[in-house]
């Protein structure tokens, strides 16, 4: 069983970037006309906080993510229990690496943590809010504002410049285009690519593409950055550059959850969560 055969975009309940199609015409991009967004506007304030959603449920303030007994079963014959009772917490500012063999449930876990999929049972709290109690529109709002995704295959839009790809990370917010572009430039500077804003993905190296994807993940100032094998398509030099960037982001206070096969990368993280057969078999702080 190889999880890599599952394209995340064909197996997810939700396309993580669907919200980027601001004008709803399916082109993955907003038009130039007036920017009107059919979002659940009342539920999220300018800081991305839920203002009229379910109240936080006694989860401490510094816990950005909490999973309790999460089960995910995919239908089939026989059904696949990709997650079999997973519980853990991530505190604000942590750098957590999730390791485990292929098929152990890492990507499924990331999809559930990122509110791309709903668990079969169990609860997930993001920033203190239980995702199971949120309607789909609110769940997308949380996803758009509070979570930054980075994938192995970059998932940049080829027809758009680096700057526009990053600015798309803000479509959901309803910010005017000018503001989105300004913030995109700032995010590109954070990843050291201020000179490459006008380049399309095909004109960038793999490492640069992944840095653009990281800038897109950061541009909405998310509570948590989720990266699933972000170095999986990179050579060792570019992997190191991407890892250095993630470490810098952590040093500057970001909360990062990184999935990797690479034991050497995992060994450099302050906390390792090991998975096997859909369960957490080890969760340890590493003395660095």
Contact 99, 275 (CB under 8 A): yes
Q: Which residue is closest to Mg ion by CB? A: 107
Of 30, 20, 31, 24, give the one whose Cα is nearest residue 213.
20
Contact 226, 110 (CB under 8 A): yes
Q: Which of residues 195-214 bind Mg ion (CB under 5 A)?
A: none
State the CB neighbour count (10 A cutoff) for residue 1: 10
Binds Mg ion by CB under 5 A, chosen from 3, 16, 119, 169: 3
Q: Which of residues 63-122 bind Mg ion (CB under 5 A)?
A: 107
Q: How far is the CB of 192 from Mg ion (least distance, A)?
A: 27
Question: Smaller CB distance to ligand ATP: residue 37 or 74?
Answer: 74
Distance (Å, rounded) from C-alpha 135 to C-alpha 141? 10
Distance (Å, rounded) from C-alpha 165 to C-alpha 158? 9
Query: Where does this chain bind ligand ATP (CB under 6 A)?
Result: 1-4, 6, 11, 74, 76, 80, 82, 100, 102-108, 261
Q: Could you tell me where the beta strands, DSSP code E, fall in 16-164?
A: 63-74, 80-91, 95-99, 121-126, 129-130, 147-151
274 binds, among ligand ATP, Mg ion, none (CB under 5 to 8 A by kind): none
80 binds, among Mg ion, ligand ATP, none (CB under 5 to 8 A by kind): ligand ATP
Q: How far is the CB of 222 from ligand ATP (least distance, A)?
A: 21
Question: Smaller CB distance to ligand ATP: residue 86 or 219?
Answer: 86
Question: Smaller CB distance to ligand ATP: residue 23 or 277?
Answer: 277
Of 143, 198, 132, 130, give the one whose Cα is nearest residue 173.
143
Question: Smaller CB distance to Mg ion: residue 58 or 76?
Answer: 76
State the CB neighbour count (10 A cutoff) for residue 165: 28
238 binds, among ligand ATP, Mg ion, none (CB under 5 to 8 A by kind): none
Q: How far is the CB of 260 from ligand ATP (least distance, A)?
A: 9
Q: How many helices (H) and strands (E) does the chain have?
A: 8, 10
Q: How far is the CB of 210 from ligand ATP (least distance, A)?
A: 17
Chain residues in the site for Mg ion (CB under 5 A): 3, 107
């Amino acid at each position: 069983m190889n999880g890599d055969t599952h394209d995340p975009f064909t197996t997810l309940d939700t396309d993580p970037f669907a919200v980027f199609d601001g004008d709803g015409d399916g082109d993955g991009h907003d038009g130039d006309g007036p920017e009107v967004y059919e979002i659940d506007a009342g539920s999220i304030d300018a800081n991305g906080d839920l203002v009229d959603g379910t109240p936080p449920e006694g989860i401490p303030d510094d816990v950005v993510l909490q999973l309790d007994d999460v089960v995910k079963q995919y239908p089939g014959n026989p059904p696949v229990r990709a997650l079999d009772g997973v519980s853990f917490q991530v505190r604000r500012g942590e750098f957590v690496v999730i390791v485990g063999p292929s098929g152990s449930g890492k990507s499924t876990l990331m999809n559930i943590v990122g509110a791309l999929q709903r668990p079969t049972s169990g609860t997930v709290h993001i920033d203190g809010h239980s995702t199971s109690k949120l309607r789909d529109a609110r769940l997308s709002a949380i996803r758009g504002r509070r979570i930054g995704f980075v994938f192995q295959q970059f998932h940049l839009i080829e027809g758009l410049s680096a700057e526009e790809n990053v600015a798309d990370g803000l479509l959901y917010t309803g910010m005017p285009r000018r503001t989105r572009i300004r913030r995109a430039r700032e995010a590109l500077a954070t990843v050291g690519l201020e000179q490459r804003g006008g380049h399309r993905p095909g004109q960038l190296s793999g490492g640069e593409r992944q840095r653009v994807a990281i800038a897109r993940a950061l541009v909405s100032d998310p509570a948590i950055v989720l990266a699933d094998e972000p170095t999986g398509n990179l050579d060792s030099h570019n992997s190191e550059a991407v890892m250095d960037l993630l470490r810098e982001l952590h040093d500057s206070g970001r909360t990062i959850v990184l999935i990797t096969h690479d034991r050497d990368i995992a060994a450099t993280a302050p906390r390792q969560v090991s998975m096997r057969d859909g369960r957490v078999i080890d969760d340890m702080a590493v003395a660095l």
